[in-house]
Amino acid sequence: MIATLIVFFFITLIVYIAFARPYRKAENKHGLMIGSVKVGDVIYSKEGIKGVVQGVAKGEKFRVATMPDEMTLLIPFNDVKEVEGFDYKEVRKDYKKQLKEKRKSWK
């Protein structure tokens, strides 16, 4: 009985380490990347479209002007693959700094 529970615990731990944790980390990175986008940034979509952000439209979409022909498209936040010049470590450090400042103000 106890051996079965120990095996079940270790299998659950392995599944968490192998699947859930990397997915959550990638989701967090994507959220920070989307939160750091400003007007004028160059983004790449999952479909391979490169464009300059002109603004944010309704429904969590970026208004983007494509590079060669200046066509305006609406790209959902989830379809953004990469932001040119995005540095995850720097943005994460700034985010943690802001959280510390907020926690100090709560006291």
Tokens of 94: 């700034």
Q: Across the chain, what does the average pLDDT equal?
A: 90
Helices (H) then strands (E): counts for the chain: 3, 5
Is residue 102's pLDDT more than 90?
A: no
Please give the biggest Cα pair distance in the chain. 67
Backbone angles phi, psi at 63, to 5 degrees: -90, 120
Domains, the chain, ordered by start: 2-84 (2.30.30.140)
Tokens of 67: 């590079």
Give pLDDT, residue 94: 87
User: What residues form DSSP beta bridges with 45?
Assistant: 80
How far is Cα 52 from Cα 68, in angstroms, rounded to an integer?
Answer: 11
What is the pLDDT confidence band of residue 106, given thresholds at 50, 70 and 90?
A: confident
